[in-house]
Amino acid sequence: MTILLEKFRPLEEKRAALVACSGEDPFHVIVERVVSATESVVNGRQVIMVGTNNYLGLTFDPDCVAAACKAIREEGTGTTGSRMANGSYAAHVALENELAAFFNCPAAIVFSTGYMANLGVLSTLPGPGDVILMDADCHASIYDGTRLGAAQVIRFRHNNTADLEKRLQRLGEQSSRTLVVVEGIYSMLGDCAPLREIVDIKRRYGASLLVDEAHSLGVLGEHGRGLAEEAEVEGEVDFITGTFSKSLGSIGGFCVSRVPELEHMRYSTRPYTFTASSSPSLIASTRQALQILSHGVELRTKLWDNATRLHQGLTEMGFDLGAEVSPVIAVKLPLSIEEDPTILWGELLSQGIYVNLVLPPAAPGGSPMLRCSLSAAHSPEQIDAVLEAFTAVSAKLQLEPQT
Ligand SMILES: Cc1ncc(COP(=O)(O)O)c(C=O)c1O
């Protein structure tokens, strides 16, 4: 083995131990066949997927599928290059205009993934002499974006507005050159940023604000525009980033802004310039999904009904959940747990329920989690099947049912 690979040996040993525990590799599950928006075949068995981000269940929407097929036939499977070098397909520009209109913003840039949207914006928008003041629980793409850029990076404690204010105060005059970065719904615990308070603070210190609405787009707000819409502070959020890979059911990312000059950044941002633009089929299905999302009151109601049903059932069983009702429900396992979390995860899978296993250091607060993501496409019967499977976990943990 080359010496370069030796550093991965300890990680590989940990992975092998996990596999030995449950007979499964929780981080390399093979989805043998996709049956529907909520079901797949894993290990030859049909399972209910409660570990995807298919919040509105649009991955099999007939209009989105038809739009994607039409685009492949008419424009081919890929663009084979970046927009700067190869030119922009009209549909990419149309999607940017549609996103701008949807968010009531003058500017929008589409990136090839949500990860790249954050890389692009965080590495380019704040430059030398500027400061990024980010919530410590922000997604890896935000962390990675800050590493690519030249701004000073400071973290504040998760959702702790007193800590945010203290740090802005310390920055003095530099606070006006500061970009505060938070998320709408946080992907690990499913909790929301206290956005009204954050907006009040950023206004008082003259800072700018970016909200990553990856998990809240389509999920929060009357029109699905996310937490900023829900909290009625859209006019105070300077930049929004997001992804097409969750409620929109495809792949891609974006940044929109109420500041028209966002457009000036387009050709300076390397994750936009030096990568191929999204394939025509992805753009076409995203455009269709955006139409559905913007009129998706019924889908949002279904999603929240499902989230409430699961949250209530798990609470009654005595589980410690990461947040109030949310489409992301983190079942926190006690730090003192004797049972290996991987075995509990494997048991759920053997009962036909796929959830995400989250282990430290990825788990905020250090407690391992079984993370569930709901979809509008789940039926109440599927939610009840998930609850049934969790009964065995609660028995193993000897939880006290709550009445
Ligand atoms: C908060 C957040 N931002 C960005 C991303 C990246 O999105 P994408 O999957 O489109 O790269 C994710 C993905 O999980 C996310 O959770």
- The response to whether residue 245 sits with its C-beta less than 6 Å from ligand 1 reads yes
| Distance (Å) from CA 270 to ligand 1 centroid | 18
pLDDT of residue 14: 86
- The response to whether residue 112 sits with its C-beta less than 6 Å from ligand 1 reads no
Tokens of 342: 């991987």
- The response to whether residue 183 sits with its C-beta less than 6 Å from ligand 1 reads yes
Active site residue 28: no
| Distance (Å) from CA 163 to ligand 1 centroid | 25
Number of H helices, E strands in the chain: 14, 15
Tokens of 365: 């607060």
| Distance (Å) from CA 340 to ligand 1 centroid | 28
- For residue 147, count other CB atoms closer than 10 A to its CB: 10
Q: In this structure, are residues 28 and 347 in contact, taking their beta carbons and an 8 Å threshold? A: no
**Helices in 138-279 by DSSP H: which ranges?**
140-148, 161-171, 195-205, 227-230, 270-273
Question: CA 176, CA 163: separation in Å to the nearest integer?
Answer: 17
Question: CA 110, CA 231: separation in Å to the nearest integer?
Answer: 25
Q: For a pocket test of ligand 1, which of 187, 241, 247, 282 has the largest count of ligand atoms closer than 8 A to its C-beta?
A: 187
| Distance (Å) from CA 242 to ligand 1 centroid | 7
Question: CA 290, CA 17: separation in Å to the nearest integer?
Answer: 43
Distance set, CA 27 to CA 20, 86, 345, 356 (Å): 13, 37, 11, 9
Distance set, CA 220 to CA 57, 247, 344 (Å): 15, 11, 31
Instruction: Give the residue, by CA position, lying nearest to ligand 1 atom 7.
Output: 114
Q: In this structure, are residues 246 and 217 in contact, taking their beta carbons and an 8 Å threshold? A: yes
- The response to whether residue 243 sits with its C-beta less than 6 Å from ligand 1 reads yes
- In which order are the strands placed within the sheet that holds 178-183? 107-111, 253-257, 239-243, 208-212, 178-183, 131-135, 152-156
SS3 391: helix
Active site residue 223: no
Question: CA 133, CA 138: separation in Å to the nearest integer?
Answer: 11
Active site residue 378: no
Predicted TM-score (pTM) of this structure: 0.96
User: What DSSP element (H or E) covers 290?
Assistant: helix 280-294
Question: CA 231, CA 92: separation in Å to the nearest integer?
Answer: 30
Rg (CA), the chain: 22
Which atom in ligand 1 lies closest to the alpha carbon of residue 251? 10
Half-sphere exposure of 357 (CA within 13 A, CB side): 22
Summarize pLDDT for 189-227 with one digit per residue, the tens. Answer: 999 999 999 999 999 999 999 999 999 999 999 999 999
pLDDT of residue 315: 96
Which residues have CB under 8 Å from 383's CB, separation 6+? Answer: 306, 309, 310, 313, 374
pLDDT of residue 335: 72
| Distance (Å) from CA 129 to ligand 1 centroid | 27
Low-confidence ranges of the chain (pLDDT < 50): none
| Distance (Å) from CA 395 to ligand 1 centroid | 34
Q: Is 398 left (phi over 0), alpha (psi -120 to 50) or beta?
A: left
- The response to whether residue 249 sits with its C-beta less than 6 Å from ligand 1 reads no
- The response to whether residue 24 sits with its C-beta less than 6 Å from ligand 1 reads no
Active-site option among 92, 139, 158, 215: 215
Q: For residue 137, what is the DSSP state?
A: T
Distance set, CA 131 to CA 124, 135, 174, 195 (Å): 12, 13, 8, 20
Q: For a pocket test of ligand 1, which of 119, 245, 371 has the largest count of ligand atoms closer than 8 A to its C-beta?
A: 245
